[in-house]
């Protein structure tokens, strides 16, 4: 292999890599494990996640992405470097990379992310806003038609709500209501109402299995294990889909309210387009049972779930790699690291 073009989605929950011509080649949790003795890297991805919450004293497990932004730069650099080195070990040239960043990141944060990817082994790095990538990956055409679309990408750390027109993000809002905050709400509810302390992974599993955004006529039940809040003894309880609905309700209402706020600030012509074409949901958090129906009822607008929601953003980087010239013509800024350095010095 002589050279390759790559897309990277640095997500709160997972890091995904796409190689042009091959599709998604890496989909691993954004987690790393270190030795506490000498700080050496022991494992990344699935292997490190398996240790999370179960790690012995000599091992520290870190989730470096919080709320959709890089919080621990060293760890994310290690994760990126391991993946880039693995993928490029037979390549003669360094790869050109398109990286997805949340639409709310500052220029300084953009530069830091570009630095990380360059240090990890990339030749030229370009950034693309996450909601635009999500829209491209979900099948939105790139031609510069003046037609409004709303995309809501619900990940682990943030929900990115964006209105897109003519291949560009026209307005957007990023809120910290996503998969992780819903897991936390389930943990809080169980502590308070069942006196049971749940682990993070258990709360996430419960959400995926019996979490419904609209109450079911016939609730379903699931036995769940944790620790008694008072005695700290291991204990299990039976939770129902209605319990989880109650636990998530406040967060889901807040998400709906945030989308409504963006709709209210959308110019009337674009809002008219969205009323017709509806709102597109992408990201893993959008896979919550009944979420499109609940949002649609609440917002009185059609809402649909994209195909393969967890892969829309990364597939979008692939489309961006293929259509860089069209995106640039549409006004999207593909910046090299040197250009960003220039911005910072101005």
Ligand X SMILES: Nc1ncnc2c1ncn2[C@@H]1O[C@H](COP(=O)(O)OP(=O)(O)OP(=O)(O)O)[C@@H](O)[C@H]1O
Q: How far is the CB of 192 from ligand X (least distance, A)?
A: 21
Span near Mg ion by CB under 5 A; candidates 11-19, 108-116, 167-175, 241-249: 11-19
Contacting residue, 83, 194, 310, 319, with ligand X by CB under 6 A: 310
- Indicate the helix (H) or strand (E) that contains 240: strand 234-240
Among ligand X, Mg ion, none, what binds residue 207 when CB lies within 5 to 8 Å by partner kind? ligand X
12 belongs to the binding site for ligand X (CB under 6 A): yes
- In eight-state DSSP terms, residue 283 is S
* Spatial CA neighbour of 131 closest among 96, 98, 97, 159: 159
Residue 123 has, within 13 A of its CA and on its CB side, a CA count of 11
Span near ligand X by CB under 6 A; candidates 173-181, 219-227, 258-266, 298-306: 173-181
Contacting residue, 14, 75, 110, 256, with ligand X by CB under 6 A: 14
Residue closest to ligand X (Cβ): 179
148 belongs to the binding site for ligand X (CB under 6 A): no
* Token pair in block for residue 306: 């994209």
* Token pair in block for residue 135: 């829209």
95 and 321 Cβ atoms separated by less than 8 Å: no
Q: How far is the CB of 10 from Mg ion (least distance, A)?
A: 8
Contacting residue, 103, 172, 180, 317, with ligand X by CB under 6 A: 180
Contacting residue, 7, 45, 64, 68, with ligand X by CB under 6 A: 68
User: In this structure, how many other beta carbons lie within 10 angstroms of the beta carbon of residue 234?
Assistant: 9
Q: How far apart are CA 193 and CA 141, in angstroms?
A: 47
- In eight-state DSSP terms, residue 257 is H
313 and 133 Cβ atoms separated by less than 8 Å: yes
Among ligand X, Mg ion, none, what binds residue 310 when CB lies within 5 to 8 Å by partner kind? ligand X
Based on CB atoms, which residue is closest to ligand X, 164 or 271? Answer: 164
Contacting residue, 288, 294, 320, 321, with ligand X by CB under 6 A: 288
- Residue 67 in 3-state DSSP? coil
Contacting residue, 7, 29, 131, 155, with Mg ion by CB under 5 A: 155
Q: How far is the CB of 271 from ligand X (least distance, A)?
A: 25
172 and 103 Cβ atoms separated by less than 8 Å: yes
174 and 158 Cβ atoms separated by less than 8 Å: yes
116 and 297 Cβ atoms separated by less than 8 Å: no
Q: How many residues bind Mg ion (CB under 5 A)?
A: 2
111 belongs to the binding site for ligand X (CB under 6 A): no
Q: Give contact residues for Mg ion (rule: CB under 5 A).
A: 11, 155
Interaction site with ligand X (CB under 6 A): 11-14, 68, 155-158, 178-180, 204, 207-208, 283-285, 287-288, 310
């Amino acid at each position: 292999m002589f050279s390759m073009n790559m897309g990277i989605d640095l997500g709160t929950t997972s890091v995904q890599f796409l190689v042009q011509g091959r599709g998604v080649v890496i989909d691993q949790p954004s987690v790393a494990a270190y030795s506490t003795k000498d700080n050496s890297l022991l494992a990344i991805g699935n292997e490190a996640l398996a240790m999370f919450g179960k790690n012995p004293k000599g091992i520290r497990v870190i989730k470096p992405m919080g709320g959709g932004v890089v919080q621990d730069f060293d760890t994310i650099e290690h994760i990126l470097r391991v993946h880039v080195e693995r993928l490029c070990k037979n390549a003669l040239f360094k790869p050109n990379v398109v990286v997805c960043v949340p639409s709310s990141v500052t220029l300084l944060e953009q530069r830091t992310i570009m630095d990380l990817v360059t240090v990890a082994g990339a030749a030229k790095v370009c950034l693309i806003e996450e909601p635009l990538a999500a829209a491209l990956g979900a099948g939105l055409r790139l031609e510069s038609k003046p037609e409004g679309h709303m995309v809501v990408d619900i990940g682990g750390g943030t929900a990115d709500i964006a209105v897109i027109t003519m291949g560009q993000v026209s307005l957007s809002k990023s809120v910290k209501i996503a998969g992780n905050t819903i897991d936390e709400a389930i943990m809080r509810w169980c502590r308070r109402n069942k006196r049971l302390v749940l682990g993070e992974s258990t709360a996430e599993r419960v959400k995926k299995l019996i979490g419904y955004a609209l109450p079911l006529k016939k609730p379903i039940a699931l036995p769940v294990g944790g620790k008694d809040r008072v005695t700290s003894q291991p204990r299990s309880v039976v939770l129902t889909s209605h319990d989880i609905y109650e636990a998530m309700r406040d967060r889901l209402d807040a998400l709906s309210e945030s989308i409504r706020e963006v709709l209210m600030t959308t110019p009337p012509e674009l809002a008219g387009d969205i009323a017709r074409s509806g709102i597109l949901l992408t990201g893993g958090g959008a896979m919550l049972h009944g979420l499109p129906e609940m949002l649609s009822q609440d917002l009185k607008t059609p809402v649909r779930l994209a195909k393969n929601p967890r892969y829309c953003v990364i597939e979008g980087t692939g489309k961006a790699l293929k259509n860089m010239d069209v995106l640039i013509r549409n006004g999207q800024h593909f910046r090299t690291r040197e250009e960003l350095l220039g911005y910072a010095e101005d």
